[in-house]
Amino acid sequence: LISHLQMGNYMKRPKHSLSDELYDKISKGYRLSLELLERGVLNDNNFTSDSLLSQLLIACYENDVDRLKSMLENLNLDVNSISWRKMSLLHIAVLCEKSEIVKSLLEKEADVHQIDWASFTPLHLASYFGFTEIVRLLLLFSSNPNSLTGVQDTPLHLAALKGHYETVELLLSKPELCVVWPNQEKSTVFHYCAQFGHLEIMKLLLDDVQRYDIISACVHEGNLYGDTPLHNACYSNQFEIVKLLISRSGFDCLSKENMFSETPLHAACTAGKSVDLIGYLLKQPGVNVNCQGRDGHTPLHSACYNGHLKVVKFLLDQGADMDISANSQILRKFKYANNGVFGDSDVDFENTAKGPISVVSQTPIAWAYEQGKQMLFEICGKINFFHFIKGFDNIVNLLKDVKRSEYSRSSASECSYNSLNDYASVTLPSPMGKLKSVTKEKAEVLQLRNLLGNQYHIQMSDIDLQESVGSGSFGKVYKCVLNNRTVAVKRYRSWSVGSKSDVKMFCREVSIMSRLNHPNILQFIGACLDDPSQFALVTEFAQDGSLFSALHEEKRFFDAEFKFSICFDVASAMNYLHKRSYPIIHRDLNPHNILLKGNRALVADFGESRFVDSRDTDMTRQPGNLRWMAPEIFLQSGSYTTKADVFSYALCMWEIYTGDIPFVHLKPATAAAEMAYRNNRPLLSDAIPVKIQSLINKAWHSSVQYRPEFSVIMNELMGTKEQNKEDAASLPVEGDSTSNSQSEDSAVLLSISRFNDLLKLVDKNGYVVDPSQSVSGHRPEN
């Protein structure tokens, strides 16, 4: 509602009238009837189950007058019998343009006022198809020229709609005919002629009403939408009709506004079909290129909103002011009365469910942006939808260039370098927030804002930034407070300096994370989407940092139980991603993107993630960190599957158990090449349990089909854990006489257990704590 109020009624303007849609369906219906008749489908239930009536229909279609008369006289059949779709014999004869049959039926007193499925009388049908001779016959037999269809159209409406000059001329010869009758949409025959460009018929009609000195009344009359015939002609680019109407009715018609606050000049700019027509209108007395409708919008607004670049350029050349704002006349209340159709309505901007609302004045550049957004919402999901909004980007850029040129012509005292630089990024008001007109990536952002639930929309002003806890090419991560809750805020670089990939990554990450809910995936809280310079992702805060930082920067030691816990948590999260109804490939799984929070590991950073069935053009490009990248991605061998994540997971497992970086002596690209081209893998040391080694070997297998699913990995991890418990329980106590016969495996397990106990004697920085203290069974606090 607010979106509509901010642009008046303009956004509600229908692309087609009710009559357009109705007569399109009616035409198809009659074509189907003719097709069935031509195919001879008269003896089945399509038309009638009455065999005698079928014979009558055949006689009508074959123009067999003698047979028709004989059957009606000898068999005592009803001349007004109804067949398929409520069509009488007279309707069928008219539809087939059988004049002799029509005359015979009329002589047999066929009902000329019978209506069919389309609420057409035979006269309507003949007028619609322009069968002038049949129209003459029907009028001769007292057909009513003012009879009405279901939408209150007369035969004259239909003849004018279809452009049948002789039929119109014949109908006008009837003195009882009402030429100015309005239909249900309050459209007269003048509206139809103007819309479809029937110039000669328009002249004929104007000559007819001139006798009664009512030309001005006919031309100035508005329909349901407030459109005069001149509006219709301008919307449809009927140049000759426009000139005729103005010459016959005067210049007052040029100032008439419809319910969308559009004069005929606005209408021509909305259509954007002819610069010549717009130029002609601008030459007429009283027409101003900057004229404003009731809602304040100008012809330039209309052209911008509809993406007509040539018209925008022409209007600017004619002196159009791009700083005029629409809605300048709307202060606190917006009242509209659409000819009583929608009634009167007051909207109080001070007292709404969400508090007071400020009505934003919008310049033409804002309307160019706004329609780009609306177009996106309408065609979201269509292939190559960016093609449809490209024109609006061009208009935005054109208007910005014009404004910058104006600034450059200003004196130095009036415009400093900084102010000129600031204006290069024009702020565009929008009902859903304010976005700057850097339109390359607005489509993704607008789609995201439309689809994301209101509970996830967060204002940057509500966030208390405390300290930076990380950074990357995307921007920085901050520890913050939101509603008394500690959160992490990932702030992306300003759109004005960020690349295309930055914005796409942000949109993708927000879109994916908002759909996820798993204890081992970083919880999504919301996003800041209003201002491109403050794009931000808000998540839960993992106070213990990343796995990479813990292993290689803080040099923390993890006991076997916690190592296992991290591996299992990550596998659980990845299994959740891969087993969704629409599986997700992370594509950048590495220790940087595994966060620690207490005794949990959390998978994070979904900027490179994709749905498995994604059609993104960059699915075959190299995402993420090269050092942990699967060979099939590095080699860019084509599409890949969730098994790419399994490979990265294997390297993470190796890193967790060894505490080393894979191929630390090599640069990331060289490390990836080593694994992809030479099929080398990091060495499996004795520090890794045998069963974990076996699992790692499977997970980083060069053949994708041999890598296990994460559900299998979880099962094997659990099996390893249970086996370790059994082995530990079978170890003899100290001093037992059987200790000399313990197996070699038990000795190894005991050594590992004691080694892990020793690790508990050091703090997170690797320093020995008080040796006199007993070692607890829990891992040290991080």
Buried b (16+ CB within 10 A) or exposed e, 542-573: bebbbbbbbbbeeebbbbbebbbbbbbbbbbb
Strand partners, 479: 467, 488
Contact yes or no for 155/169 (Cβ under 8 A): no
Closest CA to 8 of 222, 328, 230, 422: 328
3-state helix, strand, coil in the chain (%, to 5): 50, 10, 40
Query: What is the C-alpha to C-alpha distance for residues 362 and 370, in angstroms, rounded to an integer?
Result: 10
- Helix (H) or strand (E) segment spanning residue 337: strand 333-337
Burial class (CB in 10 A: 0-12, 13-18, 19+), 34: middle
List, as one string, the DSSP characters of 694-745: HHHHHHT-SSGGGSPPHHHHHHHHHHHHHHHHHHHHTSPPTT-GGGGG--HH
Torsional class of 731: left (φ above 0), alpha (ψ -120 to 50), beta (otherwise): beta
Helix (H, G, I), strand (E, B) or coil at 691: helix
490 is in an annotated binding site: yes
Contact yes or no for 431/6 (Cβ under 8 A): yes
Per the listing, tokens 């670089």 go with 493
List, as one string, the DSSP characters of 560-572: HHHHHHHHHHHHH
Q: How far apart are the first and last CA of the chain?
A: 52
Q: Which of 588, 618, 686, 727 is catalytic?
A: 588
**588 given a catalytic annotation:** yes
Helix (H, G, I), strand (E, B) or coil at 685: coil
Helix (H, G, I), strand (E, B) or coil at 669: helix
Annotated binding site for ATP: 490
- Where is the binding site, in residues? 490
Tell me the catalytic residues: 588
